[in-house]
Amino acid sequence: MEYRRLGRTGLKVSKVSLGTMAFGRWIDENASAQILDKSIDLGINLLDTADIYGKGMDNGNFDQLGESETVLGNTLKQKRRDVLISTKLNNRMGPLANDQGQSRYHILRALEASLQRLQTDYIDILHVHRFDPNSRFEESLRALDDLITQGKVRYIACSNFAAWQIAKAHGISMLHHFARYESIQTEYSLISRKIEEEIIPFAKSEEVGILAYSPLGRGILTGKYSAGSPPPLDSRLASGEEKLKELIDQKNIFEYVDTLDEIAKHKGWNLPQLAFNWVANHPSVTSAIFGASKVMHLEDTLKHVDDQLSAEELVQIDKAYQDIKL
């Protein structure tokens, strides 16, 4: 496994991260433990979770949020020192007015709750999950900086921010001598390439790490969906995921997927292997997050992760993307 420096920091993270949104939500603790063990065996050292991940995301039950963190806490035990934990806060975690956002009040409460669920004394990378227009940058960054000073957080990062939002946060951090957002977690795949417009150039310029989520296009690049056919009953599309529906509804999406599949087959790979390899080996990506729900999927998709796509194959992929105009 290759390890890369996170932004301008000295922290080394594996080029593949384990996404744990399925833990406690779609798979039980035993299945989660098997995936975790296999990931560590493969050299993955960065585990990504969030305080909101759990069955409560689907049924609205606040008591069933945070199950991913709980499962990780129960399964890591003595392995904690061997891995890096990334978690996120901001989302609504209860019915009260201050049970969400990036106020100092919520940041401190959310962090303590995550530490309890994860059964750890510190978080390696703490992300704010998305931009909060109701909290001033100064308040949020001061609270996050205090957590670093207290030793409860090692690094801070953001998720789903626009380039201008990170730039503004960086300016405030510099002005007040606060810790700055050292990386951004953002969606990136052969289906979703919008970050190439501003996020990637900004990250390159300012030495900001990129942790790419949904490298398989929220499942479209697994090959499980096809035009005119109903989705598998156990799939994310069948469960009604809105963002996935939006991607599926794009014109000519399956024509593009078929082209990518042909490129993969010509190389002797399958479609998920091609899609994941493209993201994980992109020169601007620090780590690609693989959200596993089965050990076999983890092993198969990562089979060629250390191999390289040829210059000709990269050109073919770019041409197919430009032709389809997603």
What's the pLDDT score for residue 305? 95
The pLDDT assigned to 254 comes to 84
Return d(Cα 55, Cα 68) in angstroms, integer. Answer: 9
Residue 324: what pLDDT? 77
Number of alpha carbons in the 13 Å side-chain half-sphere of residue 246? 6
Question: What pLDDT score was predicted for residue 152?
Answer: 98
**At residue 243, what is the residue type?**
K
CB contact at 8 A, 147 and 176: no
CA dihedral 322, 198, 314, 300 (to 10 degrees): -110
Q: Catalytic site residue 122?
A: no
CA distance 221 to 217: 6
- The contacts of residue 196 (CB under 8 Å, 6+ apart) are none
Give the DSSP H or E segment for 76.
helix 67-76
- Alpha carbon distance 52, 289 (integer Å): 17
Active-site annotation holder among 53, 155, 188, 256: 53
What is the third-level CATH fold of 3-219+275-309? TIM Barrel (3.20.20)
Closest to 160 (Cα-Cα) out of 210, 107, 232, 220: 210
**Residue found by looking up tokens 């040829």 in the block:** 310
Predicted local distance difference test score (pLDDT) of residue 245: 67
pLDDT at 294: 92
pLDDT for 240 equals: 57
pLDDT tens-digit readout, 207-226: 999 999 999 998 889 877 66
Q: What is the per-residue DSSP string for 98-125? A: TSSSSSHHHHHHHHHHHHHHHT-S-EEE
Residue ranges, the chain, pLDDT below 70: 225-251, 325-326
Instruction: Please name which of 107, 199, 99 lies closest in space to residue 146, comparing C-alpha atoms.
Output: 107
Closest CA to 48 of 289, 294, 295, 299: 289
pLDDT number for residue 227: 61
**What is the model's pLDDT at position 252?**
81
